[in-house]
């Protein structure tokens, strides 16, 4: 057997045990192939727990060598940056059931010019939107849909997979189910997602329900529908997705030659991703692959900021809220499902929560785009938070800082188009820019060009 395929085959799979367990430490343990989302004792969320003792049988250096050998190579499925770390993510799925689009391995962009404008020397943008469906949601969905295929192959009764979404989860679920040939249903809040995000499930031929409610309303409905109808729930309360998303941290460490950054900033809505990123760093730490932890920053839109409000009370209190309309539509969530996980994570990582107003997020995205990025509004929220932390002196010139860009700006061109034509209500665009319409006339074209460069 080739050395880099140590996870395959029944006996070797058993070498790396993992199971679902309650986040509050209740005693039940459940197989990853069981259809269960909540603890039967207390009703709270489950998380995937790995047997670290078994994983520690390999030294940190052996893990690093294995990951390096597989990274972005052709040997399927290990070239996917998720499945290249299969033993730490989801060892119990058979390779023949893996549903992958070669996810992960996204670039870290050195924001040299944007960083200089803020006074930072070591600022990087992790481009998680450079993905099959244009957002980081692919990272979790490959794990979830692979486990569904595994369960179906074992004879489990699953008629379809469903999710509520602010647009990117549904796009990822639709694509991965289309790849696998598994029926899917998406629950979307009407008129609250981008045009591209709506077209994605449509073109994959997935039942698309456009509902007259917000995300939180869709979430309540999909939970009820799944419970009664042999439909598997794909929202991030299903912690299989967290396992895939935690590889963002694995990958960051690997991309920086196993060095740990000082700050990682991520926009948060349902708060699965900030929890996942923490989980990834913690796991590498527990395995001795890294020897310190970064500080984590979660950035929220001011219009949907329940975590920020809780942070302001020192996490003593938490109140769900009615999320208001925000340009950062993928994080327009007032009652985040992963709130407990997120708070626990932020406490562990000396965490900070920041918020951004609509004007702040829009102008931060536009400012960064002038330096060659192409940001979605959620990345704008994270950048606006960064700018505040720099002003406060928390993030300093030489701190290695990573901003997680969660989606591809191409999914949100409506936002940029309205911004540059100064048509966003209540927002003064600091970087407006519009095409110049001219007749195809040499003199007029030259005049226009010269005028632009004289000023
Ligand atoms: C889902 C999503 C987020 C928020 O992630 P959570 O895990 O819900 O906190 C942020 N940005 C984009 C683009 C997303 O699709
Ligand atoms: Zn419990």
Cα of 439 from ligand 1 centre, angstroms = 44
The whole-angstrom separation of Cα 56 and Cα 63 is: 9
Residue 353 placed within a domain: yes
The closest ligand to the CA of 338 turns out to be: 1
User: What's the pLDDT at 10?
Assistant: 40
Residue 363 placed within a domain: yes
**Residue 341 sits in a domain of what CATH number?**
3.40.50.1100
Alpha helices in 15-136, H assignment, sequence order: 52-55, 60-70, 86-89, 112-118
Whether 261 and 294 have beta carbons less than 8 Å apart is answered as: yes
Residue 350 placed within a domain: yes
What pTM was computed for the model? 0.96
Domain that holds residue 299: 108-133+245-420
Residue 257 placed within a domain: yes
Cα of 316 from ligand 1 centre, angstroms = 24
Residue 14 placed within a domain: no
Q: Which CA distances in Å does 384 have to 100, 116, 163?
A: 33, 15, 30
The whole-angstrom separation of Cα 205 and Cα 222 is: 19
Alpha helices in 214-338, H assignment, sequence order: 215-228, 240-245, 247-255, 272-286, 306-312
Residue-wise pLDDT for 120-164, tens only, equals 999 999 999 999 999 999 999 999 999 999 999 999 999 999 999
The closest ligand to the CA of 36 turns out to be: 2
Which residue has the CA at smallest separation from atom 14 of ligand 1?
Answer: 330
Which residue has the CA at smallest separation from atom 1 of ligand 1?
Answer: 330
* Residues, the chain: 455
Residue 343 placed within a domain: yes
The best mutation among 165, 327, 378 to test binding of ligand 1, ranked by most ligand atoms within 8 Å of the C-beta, falls on 378
Residue 323 placed within a domain: yes
Residue 306 placed within a domain: yes
Q: Which residue, chain included where needed, has tokens 């880099």?
A: 4
Cα of 268 from ligand 1 centre, angstroms = 6
The best mutation among 135, 173, 333 to test binding of ligand 1, ranked by most ligand atoms within 8 Å of the C-beta, falls on 135
Residue-wise pLDDT for 73-110, tens only, equals 999 999 999 999 999 999 999 999 999 999 999 999 99
User: Residue 277's closest CA among 238, 247, 311, 315?
Assistant: 247
Residue 298's beta-bridge partner residues?
266, 353
Residue 376's beta-bridge partner residues?
none
The closest ligand to the CA of 26 turns out to be: 2
The whole-angstrom separation of Cα 427 and Cα 359 is: 5
The closest ligand to the CA of 44 turns out to be: 2
- Asked if residue 110 has a cis previous peptide bond (ω within 30° of 0), the answer is no
Measuring from each residue's beta carbon to the nearest atom of ligand 1, which residues come in under 6 Å?
A: 135, 137, 168, 236, 267-273, 330-331, 376, 378, 406-407
The best mutation among 299, 332, 407, 408 to test binding of ligand 1, ranked by most ligand atoms within 8 Å of the C-beta, falls on 407
Cα of 27 from ligand 2 centre, angstroms = 8
Instruction: State the closest ligand 1 atom to the C-alpha of 269, by its place in the atom list counted from 1.
Output: 9
Q: How many C-beta neighbours within 10 Å does residue 95 have? A: 16
Please tell me the total count of domains within the chain.
Answer: 1
The whole-angstrom separation of Cα 322 and Cα 439 is: 50
Cα of 347 from ligand 2 centre, angstroms = 21
The whole-angstrom separation of Cα 58 and Cα 284 is: 13
Cα of 59 from ligand 1 centre, angstroms = 34
pLDDT below 70 — which residues of the chain? 1-16, 455
User: Residue 327's closest CA among 364, 296, 293?
Assistant: 364
Cα of 2 from ligand 1 centre, angstroms = 37
The whole-angstrom separation of Cα 367 and Cα 155 is: 53
Helix (H) or strand (E) holding 353: strand 352-356
């Amino acid at each position: 057997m080739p050395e880099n395929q140590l996870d395959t085959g029944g006996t070797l799979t058993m070498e790396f045990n993992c199971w679902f367990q309650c986040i509050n430490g209740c005693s039940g343990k459940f197989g990853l192939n069981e259809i269960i989302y909540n603890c039967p004792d207390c009703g709270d969320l489950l998380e995937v727990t790995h047997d670290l003792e078994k994983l520690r049988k390999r030294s940190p250096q052996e893990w690093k060598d294995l990951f390096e050998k597989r990274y972005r190579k052709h040997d399927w499925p290990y070239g996917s940056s998720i499945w290249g770390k299969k033993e730490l993510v989801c060892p119990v799925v058979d390779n023949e059931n893996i549903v992958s689009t070669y996810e992960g391995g996204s670039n870290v962009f050195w924001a040299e010019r944007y960083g200089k404008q803020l006074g930072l020397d070591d600022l990087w943008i992790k481009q998680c939107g450079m993905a099959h469906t244009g957002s980081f949601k692919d990272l979790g969905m490959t794990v979830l849909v692979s486990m569904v295929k595994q369960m179906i192959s074992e004879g489990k009764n699953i008629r379809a997979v469903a999710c509520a979404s602010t647009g990117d989860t549904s796009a990822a679920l639709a694509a991965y189910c289309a790849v696998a040939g598994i029926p899917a249903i998406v629950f979307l809040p009407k008129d609250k997602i981008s045009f591209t995000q709506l077209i994605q499930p449509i073109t994959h031929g997935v039942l698309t329900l456009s509902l007259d409610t917000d995300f939180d309303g869709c979430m309540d409905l999909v939970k009820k529908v799944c419970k009664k109808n042999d439909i598997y729930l794909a929202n991030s309360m299903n912690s299989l997705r967290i396992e895939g998303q935690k590889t963002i941290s694995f990958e960051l460490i690997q991309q920086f030659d196993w060095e740990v950054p000082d700050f990682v900033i991520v926009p948060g809505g349902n708060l699965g991703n900030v929890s996942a990123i923490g989980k990834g760093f913690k796991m590498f730490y527990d395995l001795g692959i890294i020897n310190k932890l970064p500080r984590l920053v979660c950035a929220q839109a001011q219009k949907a900021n329940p975590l920020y409000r809780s942070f302001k009370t020192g996490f003593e209190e938490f109140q769900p809220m009615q999320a208001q309309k925000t340009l950062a539509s993928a994080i327009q969530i007032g009652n985040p499902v992963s709130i407990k996980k997120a708070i626990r994570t932020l406490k562990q990582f000396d965490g900070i929560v920041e918020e951004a107003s609509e004007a702040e997020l829009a102008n931060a995205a536009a400012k960064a785009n002038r330096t060659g990025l192409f940001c979605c509004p959620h990345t704008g929220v994270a950048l606006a938070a960064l700018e505040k932390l720099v002003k406060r002196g928390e993030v300093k010139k030489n701190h290695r800082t990573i901003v997680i860009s969660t989606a591809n700006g191409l999914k949100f061109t409506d936002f940029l188009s309205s911004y540059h034509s100064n048509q966003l209500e209540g927002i003064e665009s600091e970087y407006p820019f519009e095409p110049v319409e001219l007749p195809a006339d040499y003199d007029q074209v030259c005049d226009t060009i010269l005028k632009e460069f004289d000023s």
